[in-house]
Structure 1
Amino acid sequence: MRSRRSITVSISTMALVVALSPLSPASADLAPPPFEPLPHFPGEVSQEAKAAADKLSELVDASPDRYTGVSITGPNTVSVSLPAGSDFEQRSDAVRSGARAAAGTAVSVQVKQSGLSLADVRRTKEEVVQLFRSGTYKGKVLGVGVDSVKGAVIAYATADSDAARIELKERFGDSLVFRQQDEVPHVFGRSQDSAPHYGGSGIRLWNPPHTGTPPGGVCSTGFSVRKDGIEHMLTAAHCFPAQTVYPRAWASSYTSATPPAVGYYHGAMVTSTYGGTLDAPQDGTQDVYGDFALLQGSGGGYEPRVYNCAKNANPCSALTVGAANYGTPQNGTQVCTSGLTTGQTCRQFVTDNEYATTFENGIFATNLAYINSDQNGDGTYDCAGPDGGDSGGAVYSGTGDGKVMAQGIITGGTDCSAVYTKLSGMRAWNSSFSVLTD
């Protein structure tokens, strides 16, 4: 069954609840704080810049009270933000030394002063998240994230959120900035994938008897993974909540109540961070670890490959998974997504690496990254990215050797942006979790 595939080695350009009084009428006399623009898209980034950014991220992660964050700002440029302090120059020298150790003189490192340290930003973010989850600004603030350059929390607010923005700014001051988001994120779902199974393929949800039209709909697969020594396929938890009556995944092209050949069976859900059912999802552990589920039981197994063709292409080419990022991606990281509905879509950039939101299904999730598209290639905004049916699909970046680095799986988004669940939450959930690589 594998003859239809051709494997290529190239990648396209690529909650304490706080209750407050209703919004104060006095705030109406104040000018609302403006929305911040999206960060600059860095374009095609060199492998040396990626290596320097990774090394500097290790420095920030090791001392979050002394540093703020790392962003990739150009093809050969990395920016590191530090809070003020008497040892600012000493910390700046440590940044430059770290960059030289990783990439020599090929990368320009910009050191910038930020407002808060990463540790302080995360503490402030938890305060804002508690307000967000309590419903204090329901319908006005749709998500919460982190600006690792400014050293501030980001509140994603609607265009008509003037009073909410004024009140939040009065409370948090310069430790909070705003980006505009006017649509509640939706949770999102290649069609004839046969064993051994690849990431980026389409799956249709069935009940165990495989009867009738499957109301579970379609989703996508992410990466072949291993937990406690057993191989699984990674996908989205909102596709397979813990009490679902549609726990089985078959290749999405097949809609008949008569099952196709067993090679098209992707396995059944054995782990999910969502509770409840498809029609009535409930809180599980997605507010700690993110939106993911594991499939197990395909007789033909799973392989470290991800489809990279356009949507509806058959046969479909694939890429080899050579590495995985279990940390936090730097803002400015370019990623591709691969799922049933949109195929491979590249030129998407991480613009918030610590995003959290409540989706349209009412479930709050964290451990997310926010990505925006630059399909035009000139820094102008475009609406091209994952869509319905892509949920669970693979998110990855290039490694420079024709393989890809797994970053996470597609969770959802709006018409003009997307969010994905990072691998860091999966590794925190179970230390034995790893993506299969070749």
Structure 2
Amino acid sequence: MRLVKSVTVSLSALILALTPIVPASADQPAPAFEPAPPGPGLVSPETEEAANEINALVEASPEKYTGVRITGPDAVTVVLPPGPDFEQRSVTVRGGAKRAVGTRPVSIKVEEGNRSLADARRTKAEIGELIRAGTYQDKVIGVGLDPARGIAVAYATSDSDAARINLKQRFGDSVVFRLADGMKVAERDRSRDSAPHYAGAGYRLWNEPHTGEAGLCSTSFPVVKDGVRHMLTAGHCMPGATNYPRAWAATFTSATPPSTSYYFGAKVTTTVGGELGAYTDGNQDLYGDFSLLQGSTYVNAVYNCANLSGSCSSLLVGAVSWSTPANGTSVCTSGRTTGQICRHIVTDANYEGYVGGLYMRQLALIQSDQDNDGQYDCTTIQPGDSGGAVYQGVSGSTMVRAMGIITGYGGCHSLYTKLAGVKAWDSSISMPLN
């Protein structure tokens, strides 16, 4: 059941939304689902850095470029729309990659495409407005981008034949389809984290008098706003009207509060409205799914062990990404339920759609590349990981780069809120780095 929302859409999208959906028929087969792109293998740090450098160039000039994708351990493919300055743009791309590459060579392949990133973004925006307007009910749950092809990717359920036919009629070859289950938020059911708190720790939600608790979540990275250090977590863990705004270490279940060193702080702001399990629109459709905790001390380090209790190793955070990653980027997650999982591959860095009944933007869709007889084994985040840390290694360093906040999961896919959404919410916000 979806929440009833007040939605503002453009006139063009409203006109499209009023167009009836054409039923599927034998002579009009539904467009097929395409698989998620395969993982590029164990990617070198130099390749990650080169892809990030080129992607920043693409994001800054979306009319001139199409997109970038990591295509192998030491390979990056960049697609450009046609034009008289194609060669000049190709030289610029390769120059950006050379600035990022260290001692290990990276292959940069430049290809010509049909559309620019700006074209793809316009298609994605129209489809997103149609989804929000309820045109396809629960049959199309989200939309993202394949920047390397300059097309939108609609995520639809297995029984969405009529919706896929309708979208294909409207947008032609500028849209493709991937099969997706409905995304669920990962609230509820390491563990005795004391101050200063690390990313990837678990906390339990309590009311102010500490007489009742509801659910468990995880922590992401500290940020500084207006000179005060806060800790990031998921917005749906701390919705605006929750009666459980205080966070204590997950292991402690007694109504008698433990030592204050196990207190994570309380909610000070959030992008999600409503109560736990009964969410309403806040501004998660603009900035993603995050909340700020305040009231304890926080350090920029992340738990990187697989175990959920007992002694755990950690890594310092020495860099932060406030931008959108390249598709094919490899990231790790850390949360109270699954510990650290690495080799998550970003398969759609521009996803938006319904999660837990709310429409969200500023999301990236990830999938494990662990192979199981040729099939993805669906190793992914689980309930209780929400709010946890998303990060990647930094070339030539033992530190990591902060990337985002765990948001939800569904089937073989998981979602995280990009730190780009936090920056869009408040451009002055910063992250203390080691």
TM-score (norm 1): 0.92
Separation in structure 1 between the aligned mates of residue 424 and residue 294 of structure 2, nearest angstrom: 20
Structure 2 residue matching 1:50: 3-state secondary structure: helix
2:196 match: 196
- Report the alpha carbon displacement of residue 338 of structure 1 after superposing the two structures with TM: 0.3
Mapped contact 1:68–1:114 kept (Cα < 8 A): yes
Cα separation, partners in 2 of 1:313 and 1:31, compared to 1, 3 Å: same
Structure 2 residue matching 1:150: 3-state secondary structure: coil
Separation in structure 2 between the aligned mates of residue 312 and residue 113 of structure 1, nearest angstrom: 47
Mapped contact 1:201–1:340 kept (Cα < 8 A): yes
Mapped contact 2:302–2:316 kept (Cα < 8 A): yes
Q: 1:156-171 counterparts in 2 under 5 A? A: 156-171=155-170
Identity %: 57
Mapped contact 2:24–2:161 kept (Cα < 8 A): no
Separation in structure 1 between the aligned mates of residue 156 and residue 333 of structure 2, nearest angstrom: 26
2:179 match: 180
Structure 2 residue matching 1:208: 3-state secondary structure: coil
Structure 2 residue matching 1:434: 3-state secondary structure: coil
1:57 match: 55
Structure 1 window deviating more from structure 2 (25-34 vs 142-151): it is 25-34
2:333 match: 337
1:346 match: 342
Structure 1 residue matching 2:364: 3-state secondary structure: strand
2:76 to 56, 64, 78: 78
Instruction: Give deviations 1:213-266, integer Å, cap 9, x for gaps.
Output: x12x10000112211111011000001011211100000100111101110000
- Report the alpha carbon displacement of residue 98 of structure 1 after superposing the two structures with TM: 2.2
Separation in structure 2 between the aligned mates of residue 61 and residue 346 of structure 1, nearest angstrom: 26
Separation in structure 2 between the aligned mates of residue 378 and residue 406 of structure 1, nearest angstrom: 32
Cα separation, partners in 2 of 1:125 and 1:306, compared to 1, 3 Å: same
Mapped contact 1:115–1:174 kept (Cα < 8 A): no
2:4 match: none
Tell me the number of residue pairs that the alignment of Structure 1 and Structure 2 aligns.
418
Separation in structure 1 between the aligned mates of residue 27 and residue 355 of structure 2, nearest angstrom: 32
Structure 2 residue matching 1:233: 3-state secondary structure: strand
- Report the alpha carbon displacement of residue 377 of structure 1 after superposing the two structures with TM: 8.2
1:265 to 256, 263, 266: 263
1:3 match: none
- Report the alpha carbon displacement of residue 26 of structure 1 after superposing the two structures with TM: 7.0
Report the AA paired with residue 253 of structure 2.
T
- Report the alpha carbon displacement of residue 112 of structure 1 after superposing the two structures with TM: 2.0
- Report the alpha carbon displacement of residue 103 of structure 1 after superposing the two structures with TM: 2.1
Instruction: Give deviations 1:114-167, integer Å, cap 9, x for gaps.
Output: 232111111111100011111111221111000011110000112222221111
2:34 match: 36
Q: 1:199-210 counterparts in 2 under 5 A? A: 199-210=199-210
Cα RMSD after superposing both structures: 1.6
1:375 to 356, 370, 378: 370
Mapped contact 2:145–2:153 kept (Cα < 8 A): yes
| Residue 364 (structure 2) pairs with residue 366 (structure 1) | no
2:405 match: 409
Report the AA paired with residue 323 of structure 1.
A
Instruction: Give deviations 1:316-343, integer Å, cap 9, x for gaps.
Output: 1111111110000111111110001000
Structure 1 residue matching 2:124: 3-state secondary structure: helix
- Report the alpha carbon displacement of residue 93 of structure 1 after superposing the two structures with TM: 2.3
1:356 match: 352
Structure 1 window deviating more from structure 2 (83-92 vs 226-235): it is 83-92
Structure 1 window deviating more from structure 2 (255-264 vs 277-286): it is 277-286
TM-score (norm 2): 0.93
1:254 match: 252
- Report the alpha carbon displacement of residue 283 of structure 1 after superposing the two structures with TM: 0.7
Separation in structure 1 between the aligned mates of residue 374 and residue 430 of structure 2, nearest angstrom: 34
Mapped contact 1:311–1:341 kept (Cα < 8 A): no
Structure 2 residue matching 1:365: 3-state secondary structure: strand
1:119 match: 118
Separation in structure 2 between the aligned mates of residue 126 and residue 252 of structure 1, nearest angstrom: 40
Cα separation, partners in 2 of 1:379 and 1:392, compared to 1, 3 Å: farther
Runs of 4+ aligned structure 1 residues displaced above 4 Å come to none
Cα separation, partners in 2 of 1:309 and 1:25, compared to 1, 3 Å: closer
> Tell me, which stretches of 5 or more residues in structure 2 are unaligned?
1-7
Instruction: Give deviations 1:40-81, integer Å, cap 9, x for gaps.
Output: 211221122122112211221221101011111111101111
1:235 to 225, 233, 236: 233
Mapped contact 2:45–2:393 kept (Cα < 8 A): no
Separation in structure 2 between the aligned mates of residue 397 and residue 22 of structure 1, nearest angstrom: 45
1:387 to 382, 388, 392: 382
1:307 match: 303
Report the AA paired with residue 199 of structure 2.
G
1:6 match: none
Structure 1 residue matching 2:239: 3-state secondary structure: coil
- Report the alpha carbon displacement of residue 279 of structure 1 after superposing the two structures with TM: 3.6
- Report the alpha carbon displacement of residue 296 of structure 1 after superposing the two structures with TM: 0.2
Structure 2 residue matching 1:424: 3-state secondary structure: helix
| Residue 104 (structure 2) pairs with residue 108 (structure 1) | no
| Residue 220 (structure 2) pairs with residue 222 (structure 1) | yes
Report the AA paired with residue 201 of structure 1.
A
| Residue 394 (structure 2) pairs with residue 399 (structure 1) | yes
Mapped contact 2:131–2:137 kept (Cα < 8 A): yes
1:423 match: 419
2:5 match: none
Structure 1 residue matching 2:88: 3-state secondary structure: helix
Separation in structure 2 between the aligned mates of residue 145 and residue 51 of structure 1, nearest angstrom: 23
Separation in structure 1 between the aligned mates of residue 127 and residue 169 of structure 2, nearest angstrom: 13
Mapped contact 2:24–2:30 kept (Cα < 8 A): no
- Report the alpha carbon displacement of residue 311 of structure 1 after superposing the two structures with TM: 3.5
Report the AA paired with residue 399 of structure 1.
V
1:7 match: none
Mapped contact 1:210–1:259 kept (Cα < 8 A): yes
> Tell me, which stretches of 5 or more residues in structure 1 are unaligned?
1-14
Separation in structure 1 between the aligned mates of residue 83 and residue 270 of structure 2, nearest angstrom: 44
2:313 match: 317
2:3 match: none
Structure 2 residue matching 1:428: 3-state secondary structure: helix
